[in-house]
Structure 1
Amino acid sequence: MTTITIPEHYGQSIVIALGVIPVLGFIHGTLVGNLRKAAAVPYPHHYATVEQCKSNPKAHQFNCAQRAHGNFLENAPQTMLSILVAGLKYPSAAAGLGAVWVVLRCLFLYGYIYSSKPQGKGRYMGGLFWFAQAGLWGLAGLGVAWELL
């Protein structure tokens, strides 16, 4: 039988993984919804067409917001799980890396939607989130390996 001991500062990991990251997801969804209206992209269409983007700058901005949201949704679950697993052994480090990930994701979102750089290249402002995410994977792996040894 395996016993899981919750460390003293594990609450920090919970706040980031189950509090801050879902709020960021809500912010993504709100921005996409608002820009959908401004771009006049009807449901169930996922993106504005090339023609819509040429005639309405908000349509391109909507596409950028939609893609940033999609990228967030692709990465958030594994990041949340990594924070929760890594936090069992390294609670402060996991919460710290999770917080860095959130800040970088905010920069990614802002750069993607509001930068004047072509082809959404403003997203590179927060592109270093991959390093925080990789650090969380490593911490989670170390924590699991530590318990197995």
Structure 2
Amino acid sequence: MVTLTVPDNYGAVIGLALGAIPVLGFFHGTVVTGLRQDAKVPYPHTYATVEQCKSNPKAEQFNCAQRAHANFLENASQTMLFTLVAGLKYPQLATALGAAWLLSRSLYLYGYVYSGKPQGKGRFLGGFFWLAQGALWGLSVFGVGKELLSF
């Protein structure tokens, strides 16, 4: 039988991983939905065409928002898991790295959608989320490995 003991300050880890990160995902969806009508991209189409983007700057902005949201969805679930696992051994560090990831993802969205830079190049403003995500992965592997080796 395996007993899982969570640290006293694990609540912050849970709040970030299962609270703040999903809220940012909801915000991403709200941004995309808000831009869809001005972009004139009807459902079920996911993106505006190249022709639409050439004739309507809002279509390009919608595509940037849609891509930022898709990239968020591609990375959020694993980051939530890494935060929860890393937080079992390193709760304060996992919370800090998760908060850094959340901040950088917010900057990524802002830069991608609202910077006005061509081809979504404003996203580089928040591109350091990869560092926080990688560090959370490393902490997860290190923490689990450390526990497995102690048996």
Q: Same fold (TM over 0.5)?
A: yes
Calculate percent identity across the aligned residue pairs: 69
Residue correspondence of structure 1 range 38-77 to structure 2 within 5 A: 38-77=38-77
Q: Deviations over 1:8-27 (max 9, x none)?
A: 11011101100000000000
Residue correspondence of structure 1 range 9-28 to structure 2 within 5 A: 9-28=9-28
Q: Which residue of 2 aligns with 1:124?
A: 124
What is the number of equivalent residue pairs in this alignment?
149
1:117 Cα deviation from its structure 2 partner: 1.5
Q: Which residue of 1 aligns with 2:87?
A: 87
AA aligned opposite 1:131:
L
Q: Which residue of 2 aligns with 1:111?
A: 111
Q: Deviations over 1:30-86 (max 9, x none)?
A: 000010111110011010011111111100000000000000000000000000000
Stretches of structure 1 lacking an aligned partner (at least 5 in a row): none
Query: Structure 1 CA distance, aligned partners of 2:88 and 2:34?
Result: 38
Query: Structure 2 CA distance, aligned partners of 1:146 and 1:90?
Result: 12
Query: Structure 2 CA distance, aligned partners of 1:53 and 1:145?
Result: 49
Q: Deviations over 1:66-125 (max 9, x none)?
A: 000000000000000000000000011001100000000000000000112211110000
Q: Which residue of 2 aligns with 1:35?
A: 35
1:3 Cα deviation from its structure 2 partner: 1.1
Query: Structure 2 CA distance, aligned partners of 1:23 and 1:32?
Result: 14
Query: Structure 2 CA distance, aligned partners of 1:91 and 1:143?
Result: 11
Give the alignment's Cα RMSD to 1 decimal: 0.6
Query: Structure 2 CA distance, aligned partners of 1:87 and 1:41?
Result: 41
AA aligned opposite 1:7:
P
Moved over 6 A (4+): none
1:2 Cα deviation from its structure 2 partner: 1.2
SS in 2 for 1:87: helix
With the length of structure 2 as denominator, give the TM-score of the two structures.
0.97
Query: Structure 2 CA distance, aligned partners of 1:145 and 1:9?
Result: 22
Query: Structure 2 CA distance, aligned partners of 1:118 and 1:55?
Result: 15
